[in-house]
Amino acid sequence: MGTTIGVQPYLEYGFGFDRLGGAKITYLDTGVVIKVVDSSAVNYKVQLSKNHVAYLSKKNFKKDSTIKAAAYYLTASLLAVGDEKYDYLSIALDEKLPYRSIQQINPSKLVIDIYGASSNTNWITQRSSAKEIKNVYYEQTEDDVYRVTIELNNEQHWGYSIYYVGKKLTIRVKRQPQELDLSKVKIALDAGHGGTNNGAAGVSTNISEKKYTLLIAKELQRELLEENARVFMTRETDISLGMQERMEMLKAEDPDFLISIHLNSSVKDSVNGVSTYYKHIGFRPLTQHILNRMLELELAEFGNVGNFNFALNAPTEYPNCLVEVAFLSNREDEKKILDPAFHKQVAKKIVAGIKDWLKACKRNND
Q: What is the CATH number of the domain that holds 359?
A: 3.40.630.40
Task: State yes or no: pLDDT of 362 exceeds 70.
Answer: yes
- If pLDDT is split at 50, 70 and 90, which confidence band does 19 have? confident
Task: State yes or no: pLDDT of 365 exceeds 80.
Answer: no
Q: Which residue, 63, 84, 102, sits at the end of a domain?
A: 63
pLDDT reported for residue 366: 67
Instruction: Assess whether 342 and 234 both reside in one domain.
Output: yes
Instruction: Assess whether 120 and 215 both reside in one domain.
Output: no
Neighbours of 186 (CB within 10 A): 15
Instruction: Assess whether 101 and 169 both reside in one domain.
Output: yes
Exposure string of 323-336, with b = 16+ CB inside 10 Å and e = fewer, is bbbbbbbbeebbeb
pLDDT reported for residue 10: 96
Mean pLDDT of the 202-211 span: 97
Residue scoring higher pLDDT (47 or 20): 47
Q: Which residue, 130, 153, 174, sits at the end of a domain?
A: 174
Answer whether 103's CB lies under 8 Å from 109's CB: yes
Closest to 29 (Cα-Cα) out of 97, 121, 91, 88: 97
Cα separation, 60 vs 56, whole angstroms: 7
Task: State yes or no: pLDDT of 206 exceeds 90.
Answer: yes
pLDDT reported for residue 193: 98
Mean pLDDT of the 78-96 span: 97
Any idea what the CATH number is for the domain that residue 31 is in?
2.30.30
Instruction: Assess whether 294 and 237 both reside in one domain.
Output: yes
Cα torsion through 176, 177, 183, 189, rounded to 10: -50
Task: State yes or no: pLDDT of 53 exceeds 70.
Answer: yes
- If pLDDT is split at 50, 70 and 90, which confidence band does 18 have? confident
Element (H, E) at 210: helix 209-226
Kindly report, residue by residue over 108-124, the tens digit of the pLDDT: 999 999 999 999 999 99
- If pLDDT is split at 50, 70 and 90, which confidence band does 363 have? confident
In a domain, 240, yes or no: yes
Residue type, 47: Q
Supply the range of the domain harboring residue 229. 182-365
Average pLDDT of the chain to the nearest whole number:
97
Instruction: Assess whether 57 and 77 both reside in one domain.
Output: no
Element (H, E) at 363: helix 340-365
Phi-psi group of 106: left, alpha or beta (phi > 0 → left; psi -120 to 50 → alpha; rest → beta): left
Task: State yes or no: pLDDT of 86 exceeds 80.
Answer: yes
H helices of 6-135, where? none
Burial tier of 149 (Cβ tally within 10 Å: 0-12, 13-18, 19+): middle
In a domain, 125, yes or no: yes
pTM value is: 0.96
Instruction: Assess whether 30 and 119 both reside in one domain.
Output: no
Instruction: Assess whether 319 and 272 both reside in one domain.
Output: yes
Instruction: Assess whether 77 and 59 both reside in one domain.
Output: no
Task: State yes or no: pLDDT of 172 exceeds 80.
Answer: yes
Distances (CA, A) of 311 to 41, 135, 247, 279, 301: 23, 31, 8, 10, 23
Instruction: Assess whether 255 and 325 both reside in one domain.
Output: yes
| Domain count within the chain | 3
Kindly report, residue by residue over 245-287, the tens digit of the pLDDT: 999 999 999 999 999 999 999 999 999 999 999 999 999 999 9
Instruction: Assess whether 59 and 104 both reside in one domain.
Output: no
